[in-house]
Amino acid sequence: MATGATPRATATRVEATAVARTNIALVKYWGKRAGDGNLPAAGSLSLTLDGLFTRTTVAFDSTLSVDDVWLGSAPADTDTTARVVAFLDLVRTRAGTTHRARVTSMNSFPTGSGLASSASAFAALALAATRAAALTLSARDLSALARRGSGSAARSIFGGLVEMSPDGDDPHATPLLDASAWDLRMVVAVVGGGRPKEVLSRAGMAHTAATSPLHRAWLDTVPADLAAAKDAITRRDLAALGEVAERSALGMHATALAARPGLLYFRGATVDALHAVRALRAGGANAWVTIDAGPHVKVLCAPTDEARVAAVLGSVPDVTEVHRCRPGAGAELE
Ligand code: 2P0
What is the predicted pLDDT for the residue at 114? 63
100 and 65 in contact (C-beta within 8 Å)?
yes
Average pLDDT value for the chain: 94
Return the exposure string of 216-247: e unless at least 16 CB atoms fall within 10 Å of the residue's CB, then b.
eebbebbeebbebbbebbeeeebeebbbbbbb
Could you tell me the distance, in angstroms and rounded to a whole number, from the CA of residue 282 to the centre of ligand 1?
Answer: 31
pLDDT-based confidence at residue 195 (cuts at 50, 70, 90):
confident
Mutate to test the pocket of ligand 1, among 29, 263, 291 (most ligand atoms within 8 A of CB): 29
What is the predicted pLDDT for the residue at 2? 42
pLDDT-based confidence at residue 117 (cuts at 50, 70, 90):
confident
What is the predicted pLDDT for the residue at 109? 78
Instruction: Determine what percent of the chain is predicted with pLDDT higher than 90.
Output: 90
What is the predicted pLDDT for the residue at 6? 46
Could you tell me the distance, in angstroms and rounded to a whole number, from the CA of residue 244 to the centre of ligand 1?
Answer: 18
Domains and CATH numbers, the chain: 8-181 (3.30.230.10), 185-325 (3.30.70.890)
Q: What phi, psi does 303 have (nearest 5°)?
A: -55, -35
292 lines ligand 1 (CB under 6 A): yes
Coil, helix or strand for 300? strand
pLDDT in tens, 86-99: 999 999 999 999 99
pLDDT in tens, 235-259: 999 999 999 999 999 999 999 999 9
pLDDT in tens, 298-314: 999 999 999 999 999 99
Residue 204 confidence (pLDDT) above 70:
yes
Taking residues 316-329, report their average pLDDT. 97
What is the predicted pLDDT for the residue at 12? 78
For ligand 1, atom 18, name the residue with the nearest CA.
150
115 lines ligand 1 (CB under 6 A): no
160 and 177 in contact (C-beta within 8 Å)?
yes
Atom of ligand 1 nearest to the CA of 27: 3
What is the predicted pLDDT for the residue at 113? 61
**Residue 76 CA neighbour count, 13 Å, CB half:** 22
For ligand 1, atom 7, name the residue with the nearest CA.
292
For ligand 1, atom 12, name the residue with the nearest CA.
151
87 lines ligand 1 (CB under 6 A): no
What is the predicted pLDDT for the residue at 5? 45
Taking residues 21-35, report their average pLDDT. 96
For ligand 1, atom 14, name the residue with the nearest CA.
201
DSSP letter for each residue of 259-270:
SSSPP----HHH
23 lines ligand 1 (CB under 6 A): no
Could you tell me the distance, in angstroms and rounded to a whole number, from the CA of residue 70 to the centre of ligand 1?
Answer: 22
What is the predicted pLDDT for the residue at 193? 87
pLDDT in tens, 259-273: 999 999 999 999 999
